[in-house]
Amino acid sequence: MIPLADDYETVYDRFRWNIPERYNMAHDACDRHATDPGRIALVVEGEAGGTREWTFHRIRQLANRCANLFESCGVQPGDRVSILLGQAVETAVANLACFKCGAVSMPLFTKFGLEDLEFRLADGAARVLVTDSESFSRLASALDRLPHLDTVFTVDGETDGTRDFWKELERGSSRYETRATRADDPAVLLYTSGTTGSPKGVLHAQRVLLGHIPGMDFANNYLGQPGDCLWSPADWAWIGGLFDILMPAWYYGLPVIAAPRPDFDPEAALDLLARHRVRNTLLLPTMLKLMAQVPAGRYEVALRSVFTGGEPVGADVMAWAEETLGAAVNEIYGQTECNLVAGGCSMLLERRPGAIGVPIPGHVVDVVDDDGELAEPGGTGHIAVRQPDPVAMLSYWRRPDADDEKVVNGWLLTGDVGHKDEDGYLWFTGRADDVITCDGEQFGPGAIEECLTAHPDVALAAAVGVPDAARGEVVKAFVVVREGVSPGSGLGGVLLALGRRDLPAHSAPRAIEFVTDLPRTTTGKVMRRELRRQEVDRQRGPARERRTPPSGAGSGMGSGAGPGSAGE
């Protein structure tokens, strides 16, 4: 935990890591709280509206049974156990059981399609899968291609090819001695979203929980105050849900609200915050913007801390949150590979809307050049985290080539470009990769470009995210047509319709611009960052210089589309 003080500089200077040689997350996040039989760990909302409470004592019993169950299936330390479930008690129990027995938890997002699930299960060589019957039915056609997958448990009853998770737990012993794992032993394998090529497995150690604690203290104005209770719609398959909410809350022995829903509903979110008297929450900027549209006063929300990340939060949204939700918004910064390393803390710092924040105590975050040397004061470069760092990954899973690219001269490169101002605040100015963020979802351009180039009239395509006030970014595609094809023959509308049909709604292009060529590097790679820069400059330019879509084609993104463009 970060030390108490009245100013950031003192807190930062006084902080010291204390990472023991032997450490197990399950002990720290559950076992040590279970001696109090009435201490609430989890409150789960059912689909019918009822709730069920789970104590740390009961969670430990279930996790012990689950660890015994995994070992009875032949799971050894280091083996991967995949968990394909949403916010549910079974998700928490299965993760803890993995940590207890030294297996590697491999969470998977329930909204993944078959191809995404199969890739991760095969790449991670998962031996055991814990899921539900609906998700298992989607995987049935891929089972023959997953030779490592020995056992599948379903939490809603046995089906053909699976074993009943709860019945199996009941048969096992509730006694289990949590392994004395090393702090650097592998514990969890989280996959990136596949934003720049195939998804990469990010392997984290048992110490990753300790690495998150200073950031959680910072972002929540010292977590663990009387009455603290956490909830977030962030799915527990991602690092934001699992290690920004569930596991840190349990480190402090605090209750967590689980309320699985297919999509984010701002009214339902406000209602939940009010009913459960939630005090601490992680909400993406897009979610906050949607909640701000709900008439004020409808719900009595009294939060103590709100933290957010992924995209900038405007001053208007921050002001709304403070007035309506009762808490200042603290921005956070990090990624799957090295999370919660920079941010804000309204108790200690002036808020600067749009800034990433400052290095969180315990982390060294700065701006470096391509060689890993510190950039000139105020200069633009790679936002990077000094290594070693307890919250940083052990490595990419079976990708030494990616490891070599990620760490340069002792600095882990985040993939983002930015600068540091004279007061030490970090500012994001662009992406070194091609990640697009729309409505809180991150994705890469590959699937979009493949969709467009599948059309016989398209020779080349490049997709980028361009700024959008409501959605963070929206997708714009730049298209080079094949020789002899005229883009003025309604092709733009055809391509937009193709995107709407074949792509998820958030990644479908909102505008098409036809160009004669695409900017490239000397090796022939498309420079999407140059296209993004052009779009940002276009939006910032004088109104008279902004180009508008042709008549009858509303762009959906203001000045984002120009002559020869199609928008929706």
- The strand ranges marked E within 127-208 are 128-131, 151-154, 163-164, 186-191, 201-205
Q: Give mean pLDDT, residues 284-297.
A: 85
Contact assessment for residue 386 and residue 334, using Cβ atoms and an 8 Å cutoff: no
pLDDT score of 525: 63
Q: Assess whether pLDDT exceeds 50 at residue 561.
A: no
Provide φ and ψ at 335, rounded to 5°.
-155, 175
pLDDT score of 548: 32
Q: Tell me the percentage of the chain whose pLDDT exceeds 70.
A: 92
Q: Is 85 exposed, middle or buried (0-12, 13-18, 19+ CB in 10 A)?
A: buried
Over residues 364-387, the pLDDT tens digits come to: 999 999 899 999 988 989 999 999
pLDDT band at residue 566 using 50, 70 and 90 as cut-offs: very low
Q: Assess whether pLDDT exceeds 50 at residue 332.
A: yes
Q: What is the residue extent of each domain of the chain?
A: 18-206, 438-567
Strand partners, 335: 338
Over residues 4-52, the pLDDT tens digits come to: 999 999 999 999 999 999 999 999 999 999 999 999 999 999 876 789 9
Q: How far does CA 50 lie from the centroid of its chain? A: 28
Closest Cα to residue 505, out of 434, 428, 426, 568? Answer: 568
Q: Residue type for 326, please?
A: G
| Rounded alpha-carbon distances, angstroms, from residue 482 to 340, 417, 457, 514, 517 | 46, 34, 5, 11, 11
Is 18-206 CATH 3.40.50.10790? no
Q: Please name the fold of domain 438-567.
A: GMP Synthetase; Chain A, domain 3 (3.30.300)
pLDDT score of 565: 41
Residue 559 CA to residue 556 CA, distance in Å, equals: 9
Closest Cα to residue 212, out of 254, 250, 247, 257? Answer: 247
Provide φ and ψ at 481, rounded to 5°.
-85, 160
pLDDT score of 505: 87
Residue 440 CA to residue 311 CA, distance in Å, equals: 8
Closest Cα to residue 87, out of 148, 24, 121, 43? Answer: 43
Over residues 501-520, the pLDDT tens digits come to: 999 888 999 999 999 988 87
Contacts of 32 by beta carbon, 8 Å cutoff, 6+ apart: none
H/E run at residue 83: strand 80-83
Residue 126 CA to residue 148 CA, distance in Å, equals: 6
Q: How far does CA 414 lie from the centroid of its chain? A: 14
The reply to whether 18-206 and 438-567 are identical in fold is no
- Mean model confidence pLDDT for the chain: 89
Q: Assess whether pLDDT exceeds 70 at residue 415.
A: yes
Contact assessment for residue 324 and residue 311, using Cβ atoms and an 8 Å cutoff: no
Over residues 426-482, the pLDDT tens digits come to: 998 766 767 788 887 767 787 898 899 889 999 889 999 999 888 889 999 999 998
Over residues 108-137, the pLDDT tens digits come to: 999 888 999 999 999 999 999 999 999 999
